[in-house]
Chain A
Amino acid sequence: MQLGRIALLLITAAMPAAAGVTDTTLDNGLRVIVKEDHRAPVVVSQLWYKAGSMDEHNGATGVAHVLEHMMFKGTGKVPDGQFSKRIAAAGGRENAFTNRDATVYFQQLQKDRLPLSFELEADRMADLQLKEEAFAKEIQVVMEERRLRTEDNPHAVVYEQLMSVAFQAHPYRRPVIGWMDDLQNMRAQDARDWYQRWYAPNNATLVVAGDVDPQEVIALARKEYGRLANKPLPVRKPQDEPPQRGEKRIVVKAPAKQPYVLMIYRAPGLDDADKDVMPWAMQVLAGVLNGNDSARLDKRLVKEQRIAVEAGASYDGISRGPGLFYLDGTPSEGKSAAELEKALRAEIRRIQHAGVSEEELNRVKAQVIAGDVYQRDSVFYQAMQLGELATLGLPLDLLEKRVDKLKAVTADQVRAAARLLTDDRLSVAVLDPLPISASARKPSMEVKHAR
């Protein structure tokens, strides 16, 4: 018995994963990642649960985020509100957020106050008291949050509506904050079920970054989190989206002063960190289009043609679900959304036909290299990246390899990436503004919902 335990400890002994990063897994399945950064005497602790809105089911959309709110409402040992009070009393900052892929809780503290964070966070992993009365109030707060971020924000409405059209089977079709009707019909038991199902050490990753000693952090994690029991997790079904059978289009009417167009292409996402090339080429493509003030969309559509007052491109390919490539923009006065859409498509076509120049490519790479240096200024951001990689099951050394992967992208690969952006993978939404002055009240890109 005794020997067995020691052997196990040896096997799971912390191994260096990437420069300055220690990665280990406790006996109960909790993965612990520590990133040393000794610039300031502070520490951030983030607990990532692999449970986001994509794990929800119809009728209970938004429950991942609602539970996140309820996690501050008290345990057997720590009464309602005292989590925040105790962190605040220790000089800490704390909050949480939910996205499609995960729910994340974090605290930032002076380095010697990390034990408090672990004590409180471990406590609420297993002992949340989800009371009816607290739930009844908090669900009202969440509905206000939905009104604030989505219902009264025309671009957010466009995004929500278009995602629900771009995907028919995959759960990315559902908004993180949940449909209003589901929120109105949600019960405390829905949140309890969610908590029971997904909150367990073997469904979580603890990321600690800052002025700490990795072995001490791991020992502390073992003390506070190590006693929690793991539990069997539900089987995750892929829910893959069937092939798209042609372009999709919607019109969204909402009170606004200007039209807006949003285009979403289904694109390859990163699966194999060693072999995949297209996700990196897609990222460079987004940089060529929109990575700086001289990038193509700004240069051609905003500055030269003046067809848009804003135009953007972005790629989201590091996620649990399918990759997505976005184009969007607001037409200039006197120009229509249709004209802007045509111009955006023309920019994609130009790259499909003529590719990109070495100069453009090098410019994007220079920004990648510099950005890699600048990000060291934020310990929080570094922890975010580690948590994301871990939650996605990607190797942590991608944090460094990422730069080399991007530097290796060729002009031909960027063109090949652009050629994947075909009409049959596209969904388009156009915002048709309703007047602001009239009291026409209509229902209504929020991926992340902080508490």
Chain B
Amino acid sequence: MRVKQFLLLLGALVVAVPAWAGVAIQHWTTPQGTRVYFVENRDIPMLDVAIDFPAGSRHDTPGKSGLAALTHTMLDQGAGGMSDIVIAQRLADVGAVLGGGFDQDKAGVSLRTLSSARERDAALEVLMAILHKPQFPQAAMQRERARMLAQLRDEDSRPGEVAAKAFYRALYGDQGYGLPVAGTAKGLNKIVRGDLQAWYRMRYRAADAVISVIGDMSRAEAEKLARRIAAGLPQGAPAPAAAPVSPRPPTEKRIAHPSLQSHVLIGQVGMARSDPDYFALYVGNHVLGGSGFDSRMLEEVRQKRGYAYSAYSYFIPMAQPGPLLIGLQTKNEQVEDARKVALETVARFVAEGPTEAELAQARNNLVGGFPLRIDSNKKIMDYLRAIGFHKLPLTYLDDWVKNVESVTLEQIRDAFKRRVDPGALSVVVVGGDAG
């Protein structure tokens, strides 16, 4: 009776696709080869600009692990004749906010400013200096390195951070995505100022840069802005591509930690952003562990058994195949039971796939929730940056609903069977005694 009522409700909602114009993305390339993505939006008198480079931690070498992160950190610590403090003051004086965005793939600089001419021009002036003339002062570099080392020490005290690092290393080894995003103490200590300058010249080139702009600005102004950004960046051929991912054999790693909970991370190499199975795996994982209270993982681990506060599974799509990550945290005494439930949940899902009802539920949630994904400039900006960096189609947002809707049960079953091997998952457990 209850089930029937529920299904009826689902039926009623399936067809309700938002009749709402999407996001009009304009795209062009500057003479230097910089790709630009622009959305004009005059609702709020503000402007967001972001510039991304393929300069993330996967391009580090194990010997100088942390060079990518330190270079990125140092961009605004002295530039164009301004000290770190002057840079911060000039931005604060006009209420501008500098942001970043640094991960395994990319290093980014973002700016949010009021669009009124005085504030906007002052903020953009500082942005240009940061992008075009970073000076990497020796003293500031030493300080920032010391702060990064302190951050690494702090992470060592957090079981979740320890587990995440061990997980990436288990999947990818001591290179590429396996290198810690913020580097290692050993690597950071070897870096000299010349390394940063060389890294900047090689990795922050106009030919590799992607500019994203949204807000209170005309197309002509945006073109001018993009030209100016691109012209001042290091010129030259695009940086060499990184070596492709070479997954490691599955492994099990246990690390002792004086914590009450053990953090369990389970996974394998998953998919790239451009993967042809992207939507099948994405929608399928929504059922498996991507949709919180609506997912099997949380249902089995938390709702049915009370083992954990959070339990999830995600494909983390990156430029190269990123991980499938399944995680939970539970008190040390029951870690084996909880881990078993998580593994069984994955295995069952791979073997059987979702049910019709589960797929309908996931589809309704994703399609019906689409307007919430683009209801602010900030959210649209995140999409712009992803579309630009990963060279996704300009119609990505327009096609998103259609792509989700067209995923079939069979496609999900097939994709999970081909791509996920429940018998070959790596497992990392951090907490308690190493056992």
> Is B278 on the interface with A (CB-CB < 8 A)?
no
Q: Are A90 and B329 in contact (CB under 8 A)?
A: no
B25-64 Cβ-contact flags toward A at 8 Å (1 or 0): 0000000000000000001111000000000000000000
Residues of chain B within 8 A (CB-CB) of A442 are 258
> Is B242 on the interface with A (CB-CB < 8 A)?
no
A-side interface residues, number (CB < 8 Å) = 81
Per the bound structure, the CA–CA distance linking A147 and B256 in Å amounts to 17
B-side interface residues, number (CB < 8 Å) = 82
> Is A108 on the interface with B (CB-CB < 8 A)?
yes
For B13, B95, B261, B306, the residue with the greatest tally of chain A CB atoms inside 10 Å of its CB is B95
Per the bound structure, the CA–CA distance linking A212 and B241 in Å amounts to 49
> Is A235 on the interface with B (CB-CB < 8 A)?
no
Residues of chain B within 8 A (CB-CB) of A441 are 258, 260
A88-B291, A151-B260, A373-B46 as given contacts; A144 in contact with B146, CB under 8 Å:
no
Contact of B157 among A109, A256, A368, A444 (CB under 8 A): A256
Residues of chain B within 8 A (CB-CB) of A363 are 89, 92-93
Contact of A291 among B92, B257, B370, B376 (CB under 8 A): B92
- CB B373 to nearest CB in A, in angstroms, measures 10
> Is B94 on the interface with A (CB-CB < 8 A)?
yes
> Is B337 on the interface with A (CB-CB < 8 A)?
no
Q: Are A89 and B10 in contact (CB under 8 A)?
A: yes
> Is B259 on the interface with A (CB-CB < 8 A)?
yes
Residues of chain B within 8 A (CB-CB) of A89 are 9-10, 13, 361, 364-365, 368
Per the bound structure, the CA–CA distance linking A109 and B372 in Å amounts to 7
Per the bound structure, the CA–CA distance linking A306 and B150 in Å amounts to 12
Per the bound structure, the CA–CA distance linking A363 and B329 in Å amounts to 43
Interface stretch, picked from A135-143, A182-190, A317-325, A420-428, is: A135-143
Contact of A370 among B9, B119, B257 (CB under 8 A): B119
Q: Are B365 and A91 in contact (CB under 8 A)?
A: yes
- CB B76 to nearest CB in A, in angstroms, measures 8
B149-164 Cβ-contact flags toward A at 8 Å (1 or 0): 1110110111100000
Contact of A41 among B20, B308, B361 (CB under 8 A): B20
Q: Are A93 and B372 in contact (CB under 8 A)?
A: yes
A40-B371, A88-B291, A436-B157 as given contacts; A144 in contact with B307, CB under 8 Å:
yes
A89-B10, A153-B158 as given contacts; A330 in contact with B44, CB under 8 Å:
no
Residues of chain B within 8 A (CB-CB) of A306 are 143, 146
Contact of A39 among B9, B156, B368, B375 (CB under 8 A): B375
Per the bound structure, the CA–CA distance linking A434 and B355 in Å amounts to 50
List 20 contacting pairs A-B, 8 Å CB cutoff, sorted by A: A42-B372, A81-B293, A91-B372, A93-B369, A109-B372, A110-B372, A140-B306, A142-B309, A145-B309, A258-B157, A294-B86, A302-B143, A309-B147, A366-B93, A371-B95, A373-B46, A374-B97, A374-B112, A377-B377, A379-B376
B residues near A, CB below 8 A? 2, 6, 9-10, 13, 16, 18, 20, 43-46, 84-89, 91-98, 112-114, 119, 140, 143, 146-147, 149-151, 153-154, 156-159, 256-261, 291-294, 299, 302-310, 329-331, 361, 364-372, 374-378, 433
